[in-house]
Amino acid sequence: MAAGSIRVTMEVGADGVALITIANPPVNALHPIIIAGLKDKYAEAMRRDDVKAIVLTGAGGKFCGGFDINVFTKVHQTGDVSLMPDVSVELVSNMMEEGKKPSVAAIQGLALGGGLELTMGCHARISTPEAQLGLPELTLGIIPGFGGTQRLPRLVGLPKAIEMMLQSKFIAAKEGKERGLIDALCSPDELIKTSRLWALEIANCRKPWMRSLGRTDRLGSLSEARAVLNAARQQAMKVAPNMPQHQACLDVMEEGILYGGQAGVLKEARVFKELVVAPTSKALVHVFFAQRSTTKVPGVTDVQLKPRPIRKVAVIGGGLMGSGIATSLLVSNISVVLKEVNPQFLQRGEKMIAGNLEGLIKKGSLTKDRMHKAMSLFKGALDYSDFKDVDMVIEAVIEKIPLKQSIFSDIEKICPKHCILATNTSTIDLNVVGEKTNSQDRIIGAHFFSPAHIMPLLEIVRTEKTSPQAILDLITVGKIIKKVPVVVGNCTGFAVNRTFFPYTQASHLLVSLGIDVFRIDRVISSFGMPMGPFQLQDVAGYGVALAVKDIYADAFGERNLGSNLVGLMVKDGRQGKVNAKGYYIYEKGAKPKPDPSVKHVIEEYRKQANTMPGGKPVTLMDQDILEMIFFPVVNEACRVMDENVVIRASDLDIASVLGMGFPKYRGGLVFWADTVGAPYIHSKLSKWAEMYGPFFKPSSYLEQRAKSGVPLATMEQAVRHANHFVILRRAHQEHHSKCFSTCFLFLMVPSGADAVFAGLWENYGEAMARDDVKAIVLKGTQRLPRLVGLPKAIQMMLEYKVFKELVPSPTARALVHIFLAQRLSTKVPGVTDVHLKPRQIRKVGIIGGGLMGSGIATALLVSNISVVLKEVNPQVLQRGQKTIAANLEDLVKRGSLAKDRINKVMSLLKGTLDYSDFKDVDMAIEAVIEDIPLKQSTFSDIEKFCPPHCILATNTSTISLNVIGKRTNSQDRIVGAHFFSPAHIMPLLEIVRTENTSAQAILDLITVGKIVKKVPVVVGNCTGFAVERAFFPYRQGSMFLVGLGVDVFRIDRVIRNFGMPIGPFQLQDVSGYGVGLTVKDIYAAAFGERNFSSELMDLMVQNGRHGKSNGKGYYIYMKGEKPKPDPSVQHVIEEYRKCVKIMPGGQPVTLTDQDILEMIFFPVVNEACRVMDENVVIRASDLDIASVLGMGFPKYRYPKSC
């Protein structure tokens, strides 16, 4: 969405009413730009004398669909709650409700979530009758956060408010009027006019000026309110035991009832911020977006195809599934022809459809009138003659391959050429089903879940021959009948049943090991599944399980368990719920009860299975049972993703939630598995595989991710690479249409000129900037020889002519820009301009004596700052001290340190193995590996030992500071001190501040930066901060080019010729692959689709290549010699190209050197634009100096177009 289309407008009429309109298509979501605009317009309206009253409305026939949920995703990625704007108090309470001019909400279409909360902050609400009103926030794991928990009970009464919030129930404005939420109803044409008049009448005291938060008349007595809340708590504990937001919502409502609305609003804001970063919210928001992404199908929904109308559908088979599918179509106004084999079966099918419709009426989702309309669209048939004009056929017969094949052969002859030929098979490969047909492009799977008219998932199965048009048409039908369509590949069981086939089998294995059936069901139900695997088997019936048993055995080989438990149940006369007798007893009107008499069947099964060690039942905890059932399911999900059966991992998440009832608040199967962690799952499966056999054997996909640390949800797909390429090309095109305001520039000060030109450069910069200066004359021919000697003075004066010619050149402009940029970087608004004085930093504690820690210590020591270096054991500490000594020797060789200073410098260093020596440090700098839990525990420890004035700094290059400092109470002292490697040489210091970092801490670190001869650049807190964030596409772009067939060493040559010190692959060798692999997942999580997930580094490491550290990378490194390209790396690169599969037609692309240069740097510029747009840097020139000093960008570069 373009920022220009997100806006808030205000028009003041002659009547003195300001009409404030929210515009953010399609539903006017409350993007932060909208909230800022509302604050701005309300402030303006309150100031203006010509405004008497305000009407708040939304553009495009909708009021507002609520807060922009994309912001939640950013909060979840960063852990930064400050991204949530202050709406509840600052806007709704202070500016709107307590404003000196009345506000009236003009509601049309919908007012949901934050949108409805805005209306409740107004003094009256006028609406069209059919507008939908509701507070659905609890479905996202949060509570209403803009005052809704306080105002809604005061307007509609406590019981109705609880119902609307805890059940996320919408009401029409017509009911809202009856309940007291809406003040008046009118037609859309009269809405604004009526609202304006109402607002003026409030302003003129002819209508009451009602502040919702001050009302108590609808709350009832305190005892009544408590009774209602206690009843609601009990109900919430039953229906949502794992949903903390339900109890939190009731607590916040109670706070307002006991202590007043304002107290309730304040508690609501606090609890909202706690919930928004909680695991439940992360999971539910993930599911929300996962559901919306399922209909984005590359090659189908992005190729300008239009869906064809599906007016008439034939369903073959009127059993449980066929009648359910027919019901779904009929209630959505699609005509249905139901074919059966005889009149009795047809009549039964028709009765089942009628029963389904009656059930929908009882649920309140269908009216009687609509039921009659639906049945009028139905026609029964005993042959195919009525199929001649259908648009789609859905076969829904039993899972018998010959029967399905003959049906498809028949319908192909009868149906029109455009007709889609679909099967509802849950298991059988579509190529087998359609083997005897010639219309392979029309064959598709339409796998509904039982009961089909209720269950929301539609699994759309495509073969390699299914046409995009058929897929698009079925997606569209899915939406029409209110299903969530998920497009999957063709294999046995497809995505859902394939993934979950180990679910039942693992439960059978546990029973064979001696675990009680009903305990297994209790454990799984407690986890959040609607019912356990054995009750599910009863409800689903044993027929399907027996029908697909052989199919699974053939398809899955050794990982299929040959259980005969279902067969024994059938042999004992048990059919599950169908005949009221299975593992449970089913009596009409009663809950299922465990059947003790099933015990003898289970004992017989255990005898036959003979898997109990020593014939004795195993002892397992509930957690073991849970893991032994679900980890094999996760393992199979890994295979499904590895084979690209699903387009994206989130499709499997939404399919598991909607198709199998996996608890939504856990985010779906793969999301949950990633919270558990691939290494843990892999270790457990490996252990069980040794004990119980190949059923538990970890898949290669799981094994790779367990070793690499890459999330399971990170799938390697060509489509993502293709998207990355589109971004690259777009950046290339934009370059020609406009000049970028930020360019990475570089400065090289002439050697030996410092003594002569002290102060000259600053004046020269001013002269260049002034319009009244046309030329520059240098004086000093008399003094110059006395300063530098006559020969040098003559040489310099002869060069003056050349100097004049160079002044207007791009190089001079670039170098002057960098000179001034470097001096600007320490000017920080709110820090250096508020009369603060830097405190003295005499002693610094450093945690971690590795490459970075020892380098930082060296920089401090040579600047006469005492250092305490802490390490975990004597050996590592000794190594750190040796590295510092080596750094000092290196500085002596470079001529930047006198040899006799080494002893003085080393006398300032103290080693330690605990934090006792940190009691008097002025600053602590953590420099351990990029491991979040380790950093968090380190900060928790140093906070306890360091004095209250001590600055708590981290040298992280990537991780958000809010995540690192999560467990501390000293947020004002936490700051990022990101040195670049090697830290005692590289001149840049990136100072990272959070919203809580004090100005004093920033100023002190700027001062330390200057003392240790670094150039400090202050940046904001986000993944990668400024430099690493801006340059993450640099490495990724180069690996993308390799994937397209461009030679590694050619890329490095092109980049070196541009002016970078070394190319991206040599840089990777020099830096080492450890950090790259460590931050890979962090970048993937933070940058989503614009992150290019490359496995090249992994392959290099697997091939024993670690870069310069072991002398072998893309280049060969030998002591005393320049690096040489290693020809033997070619086989690794070829393997990588096979993995990514992005070369068009399998052939390398042809690119000029300029293309290579641009395809690497333009995405970097693109990311830099995002960095500036998000105000991560104070000014564009800070990014220039950071790129020069931190990444070696050539400082002499200046664009011709500027």
| Per-residue pLDDT tens digits for 335-355 | 999 999 999 999 999 999 999
Are the CB atoms for 959 and 1082 separated by under 8 Å? Answer: yes
pLDDT value for 764: 54
Measured from the Cβ of residue 50, the count of other Cβ atoms closer than 10 Å reads 10
Query: Which residue bears the tokens 């360091």?
Result: 946
Catalytic hit among 90, 97, 98, 137: 137
Question: pLDDT value at position 751?
Answer: 35
Report helix, strand or coil for 699.
coil
Catalytic site residue from 117, 627, 636, 943: 117
SS (H, E, C) 959-977: CCHHHHCCCCCCHHHEEEE
CB 826 within 8 A of CB 832: yes
Residue 1198 has pLDDT above 60, yes or no: no
Asked whether the predicted pLDDT for residue 631 surpasses 80, the reply is yes
Share of the chain above pLDDT 70, in %: 91
Structure tokens at 479: 């939406």
Q: What is the pLDDT of residues 305-328, one digit of tens each?
A: 899 999 999 999 999 999 999 999
What are the pLDDT digits (tens) for 1063-1112?
A: 999 999 988 887 777 777 888 887 888 877 678 999 999 999 999 889 99
Stated pTM of the model: 0.62
pLDDT above 70 for 1175: yes
pLDDT average, residue stretch 723-730: 27
Question: pLDDT tens digits for 374-384?
Answer: 999 999 999 99
**What is the arithmetic mean of pLDDT over 121-131?**
97
Over residues 532-543, mean pLDDT? 91
pLDDT tens-digit series, residues 838-884: 999 999 999 999 989 999 999 999 999 999 999 999 999 999 999 99
Tokens of 129: 């009758």
Q: Is the dihedral of CA 675, 678, 681, 683 positive or negative?
A: negative
The pLDDT value given to residue 43 = 96
Structure tokens at 1058: 């541009």
Instruction: Please say if the pLDDT value at position 282 is more than 80.
Output: yes
**Active site includes 137?**
yes
pLDDT of residue 766: 58
pLDDT exceeds 60 at position 1044: yes
Q: How many CB atoms lie within 10 A of CB 592?
A: 18
pLDDT at res. 263: 94
Say which residues have a Cβ less than 8 Å from residue 503's Cβ, sequence separation at least 6.
533, 629, 630, 632, 633, 660
- Statement: residue 743 has pLDDT above 50: no
| All structural domains of the chain | 3-218 (3.90.226.10), 312-489 (3.40.50.720), 496-706 (1.10.1040.50), 760-824 (no CATH), 843-1020 (3.40.50.720), 1027-1175 (1.10.1040.50)
Please give the Cα distance from 488 to 49 (Å, whole number).
61
| Residue 1183: partners with Cβ closer than 8 Å, 6 or more residues away | 742, 744, 1026, 1030, 1168, 1171, 1172, 1177
pLDDT exceeds 80 at position 1199: no
Residue percentage of the chain with pLDDT more than 90: 75
Give dist(CA 662, CA 670) in Å, integer. Answer: 11
Residue 877 identity? L
| For range 787-792, the mean pLDDT | 60
pLDDT higher than threshold 50 for residue 1014: yes
What pLDDT is recorded for position 745? 26
The pLDDT of residue 786 = 54
3-state DSSP assignment of residue 470: helix
Q: What angle do CA 1129, 1132, 1134 make, to 5 degrees?
A: 110
CA angle 913, 914, 919 (to 5 degrees): 130
- Given this model, what pLDDT does residue 733 score? 29
- Calculate mean pLDDT across residues 120-139: 97
At 749, the pLDDT band (50, 70, 90 cuts) reads very low
Tokens, residue 1176:
């991560």
pLDDT in tens, 1126-1156: 999 999 999 999 999 999 999 999 999 999 9
Compute how many other C-beta atoms are within 10 angstroms of the C-beta atom of residue 994: 19
Highest mean pLDDT out of 664-678, 770-784, 789-803, 1057-1071: 664-678
Q: How far apart are CA 826 and CA 386, in angstroms?
A: 81
Q: How far apart are CA 1067 and CA 1061, in angstroms?
A: 9
Average pLDDT rounded to a whole number, residues 446-456 = 94
**CB contact at 8 A, 922 and 844:** yes
Q: What is the mean pLDDT of residues 121-134?
A: 97
Residue type at 1111 in one-letter notation: G
Query: What pLDDT is attached to residue 739?
Result: 30
Supply the pLDDT for residue 754. Answer: 38
pLDDT of residue 744: 30
* Distance between CA atoms of residues 90 and 85, nearest Å: 9
More confident residue, 778 or 794: 794
Main-chain dihedrals φ then ψ at residue 444, nearest 5 degrees: -150, 155
Mean per-residue pLDDT, 677-700 = 96
